[in-house]
Amino acid sequence: MSNIHQLNSLPKQTTINLIASYQGDFKHDNFSYHQLLEKLQSTVMHNHFMDQEDNAAWMNHRGNDYLANPNLFAHAPLTYLCVFLSETFKHNKLSQIEKKISPSVFEAILKRLNDFK
């Protein structure tokens, strides 16, 4: 397991900013959860978003707390947000994510990511 508190493992600021900008998708009348997930996955994969880090253990323990209570993201450190995103897209297909994770989780993540722009 990687040390998730190491700032040098974070992705580039431009990538964080790009992902945070997807929060605007929730404000559109024609919001498509599937399209949002496709954009997130594409950005995460294309930018090698923490793909060398192994944080599966954190995701299994702490990540489940955040899944159960997305309000926790409102005060989550940047490293937790990045680990959650990277592990989610690294180990799941879009169809699995769409079934297992509610849009409100990603809305909370993206809202908090905007604080780090």
pTM of the model: 0.89
pLDDT digits (tens, 9 = 90+) for 66-108: 999 999 999 999 999 999 999 999 989 999 999 999 999 999 9
pLDDT tens per residue across span 30-68: 999 999 999 999 999 999 888 777 788 888 888 999 999
Angstrom distance (rounded) from CA 97 to CA 16: 20
pLDDT reported for residue 70:
96
Residue 77 pLDDT:
94
- SS3 string, the chain, reads CCCCCCHHHCCCHHHHHHHHHHHHHHHCCCCCHHHHHHHHHHHHHHCCCCCCCCCHHHHHHHHHHHHHCHHHHHHCCHHHHHHHHHHHHHHCCHHHHHHHCCHHHHHHHHHHHHCCC
